[in-house]
Amino acid sequence: EAQVTQNPRYLITVTGKKLTVTCSQNMNHEYMSWYRQDPGLGLRQIYYSMNVEVTDKGDVPEGYKVSRKEKRNFPLILESPSPNQTSLYFCASSSRRASSSYEQYFGPGTRLTVT
Amino acid sequence: AQSVTQLDSQVPVFEEAPVELRCNYSSSVSVYLFWYVQYPNQGLQLLLKYLSGSTLVESINGFEAEFNKSQTSFHLRKPSVHISDTAEYFCAVRGSSYDKVIFGPGTSLSVIP
């Protein structure tokens, strides 16, 4: 089954404690992206990756890091989480081939609370 | 810079009535346009998209959207809604020549029995 998986689904942590949210896709997609969803703001792109070892900032990259060492994985790293990073996070992937529909496939989400 | 506006944050509508969810965008380059739907406690899934060609696009569950380049709009319509259409709807824009994606703030559609 084609899917994007995220772990953990729920996480409560304290300010300053480093954490990683994993994202994996099994569709051989070149493009992967992280979003945060906040009430009234919709989804805002944090970082995206066009392919292995190629990443770029989205609209809200401050306080986050990413890496793309393998095509299927795109972890999101919070080196020193703060309460304003409490949010619902989504990972997504899509094909970048010219014949594709550019549709993004979303993971189930990770609800992060930073106290 | 690109931006997406969804003017209605909440739209209540009676079952079997028609509905229109508005989306306007701004961009200096050619774009691809998408509508995604998010059912309660779920991730997003694609509803329909415009890449090129016919400006009227349809989904399998009765929604349609029309790309209007002059008005920079991509409004979503359905002639008769069902209870199961209750969800959050997001309009999104992606440049045809680059990979950054911009989402609108979303419209919460509530279908009233």
**What are the distances in angstroms from CA A59 to CA A35, B1, B49, B102?**
9, 11, 22, 9
What does the pLDDT look like over A80-115, one tens digit per residue? 999 999 999 999 999 877 666 778 999 999 999 999
Q: Quick check: A99 contacting B, CB < 8 Å?
A: no
What does the pLDDT look like over A15-35, one tens digit per residue? 999 999 999 999 999 999 999
Q: A104, B104: Cβ pair inside 8 Å? A: no
Q: Quick check: A33 contacting B, CB < 8 Å?
A: yes
Which chain A residues are Cβ-neighbours of B10 within 8 angstroms?
none
Q: A102, B51: Cβ pair inside 8 Å? A: yes
What does the pLDDT look like over B8-53, one tens digit per residue? 999 999 999 999 999 999 887 778 899 999 998 888 999 999 887 8
d(CA B84, CA A15): 39
Q: A45, B106: Cβ pair inside 8 Å? A: no
pLDDT mean over B42-66: 88
Q: Which residues contact B35 (CB under 8 A, 6 or more apart)?
A: B23, B46, B47, B48, B49, B63, B65, B74, B76, B89, B90, B91, B92
